[in-house]
Amino acid sequence: MLRVLYWLARTKEAVEPNLKSLLSGKLTFSEFQRNVVEELRTPVLYTKVFSGDAMAPTLNDGVPPGQAGEKVVIRRLVSPSERTVFLDDIVVCRDPTDDRRNYVRRVIAMPGEEMVSDDPRDIPFSIPAGHCWVVCDNDKAVEAADSRKFGPLSFDLIHGRVLYSIRSPTNFTRIVNSKNAMRRDHIILAVEQSLLGEL
């Protein structure tokens, strides 16, 4: 049953964005087919090493500055939106001011939510549609960029959600995300778990 749910979810993720492009005339039918097949052939999970203490203690807790951080297992998000990214998820996102930089950050506010600062000089505002607010877990992180520096983050800049941190082949931890994300990611993990064995 999990495999059926897996392929249903994968097919939906592959078809929806490409169908929009097909219907708007941005893709031909053969390009649509090629994109969907390519998406279905690409595993959802991948790994990456992130350095820095911005997400400590969740990630890289106690890793000395300048050393490589923990390897993380990431679930690729094809069409990030309010339907695939949730409050309290730990996501991989591109820096809106420098597309060469990627960060791991926690989502703490969604579209329509009001942001109020402790500083009375700051004017409250609402998160615009298609955006979220992301922050570091470590408030003491040096030079760590998040929404407090670059403002609301467009969902389009989110690449994926962090599922595991891996310190060694025998020391790995499941990252706690939102309940919605954990439920959806369980299906992906159950089917693509062979990839985890190769890490």
pLDDT at residue 167, as a whole number: 82
C-alpha radius of gyration, the chain, whole number: 18
Both 11 and 81 in a single domain?
no
- In whole angstroms, give the CA distance from residue 132 to residue 54: 18
pLDDT of residue 198: 52
- Round to whole Å and give the CA distance between 108 and 170: 31
| Pair of tokens at residue 138 | 């470590």
C-beta atoms surrounding 133 within 10 Å: 21
* pTM to 2 decimal places: 0.87
Query: Residue 28 corresponds to which tokens in the numbers above?
Result: 């031909």
Which tokens hold the place of 67?
A: 């050393």
- Check residue 155 and give its pLDDT: 98
Structure tokens at 97: 């001011």
Is 19 exposed, middle or buried, given 0-12, 13-18 or 19+ CB atoms closer than 10 A?
middle
On whether both 100 and 79 belong to a single domain, the answer is yes
How many angstroms separate the first and last alpha carbons of the chain? 26
DSSP β-ladder status, 45-49 and 158-168? unpaired
The verdict on 81 and 99 lying in the same domain is yes
User: HEC profile for 108-169?
Assistant: EECCCCEECCCCCCCCCEECCCCEEEEECCCCCCCCCCCHHHHCCEEHHHEEEEEEEEEEEC
Per-residue confidence (pLDDT) for residue 195, from 0 to 100: 56
Please report, in tens digits, the pLDDT of each residue of the chain (199 residues total): 788 988 998 999 899 989 999 999 999 999 999 999 999 999 999 999 988 888 989 988 877 666 778 899 999 998 899 999 999 999 999 999 998 999 999 999 999 999 988 888 888 999 999 999 999 999 887 678 999 999 999 999 999 999 999 888 788 889 999 999 999 999 898 888 765 555 5
Structural domain harbouring 66: 44-197
Q: Are residues 9 and 72 in the same domain?
A: no
The number of residues making up the chain comes to 199
User: What are the structure tokens assigned to 57, written together?
Assistant: 């203690």
Helix (H, G, I), strand (E, B) or coil at 84: coil
Q: Within this chain, do residues 149 and 191 fall inside the same structural domain, yes or no?
A: yes
11 and 98 within one domain: no
SS3 107: strand
Same domain, 34 and 86: no
pLDDT at position 86: 98
Residues 25 and 64 placed together within one structural domain of the fold: no
Please check whether residue 48 is in contact with residue 92, taking contact to mean a CB–CB distance below 8 angstroms: yes
Number of domains in the chain: 2
